[in-house]
Amino acid sequence: MFARVATVQVQVEKLDEAIEIYREGVLTALQDVPGFEGVELLVNRDTGHGISITRWATEADQLASEASGFYRAQVGKFRGLFDAMPVREVYEVAVFA
């Protein structure tokens, strides 16, 4: 299993709006992507810092979600809410419980 970890800085006053977009738009879209296995969205309401962790069955599934333009399309849903573009990294999941 692989995880894509995206960190982002959301404008604090727009954090609830960003969470709703993630819940209604991104999560719904992710459920139809081959190899998608789960997600967590972590937020700090005081700072607007957020971390999105998406889990993928294989590295190829994660790469395909980026190559297809899916990732870029999801980030586009947040136009005007971020202070900076997300920074993303991919990890192999060594332990999952």
CATH number at residue 23: 3.30.70.100
Comparing C-alpha atoms, which of 37, 93, 44 is closest to residue 65?
A: 37
Distance in angstroms (rounded) separating the CA atoms of residues 95 and 34:
22
Q: What is the pLDDT along the chain (97 residues), one digit of tens a residue?
A: 999 999 999 999 999 999 999 999 999 999 999 999 999 999 999 999 999 999 999 999 999 999 999 999 999 999 999 998 899 999 999 999 9
Contact between residue 53 and residue 37 where contact means Cβ atoms under 8 Å apart:
no
Q: Is 74 a member of any domain?
A: yes
Residue 70 lies in a domain: yes
Number of domains in the chain: 1
Tell me if 37 is assigned to some domain.
yes
Q: Which of 93, 94, 95, 85 has its CA nearest to residue 4?
A: 93
Question: For residue 36, what are the domain limits?
Answer: 2-92
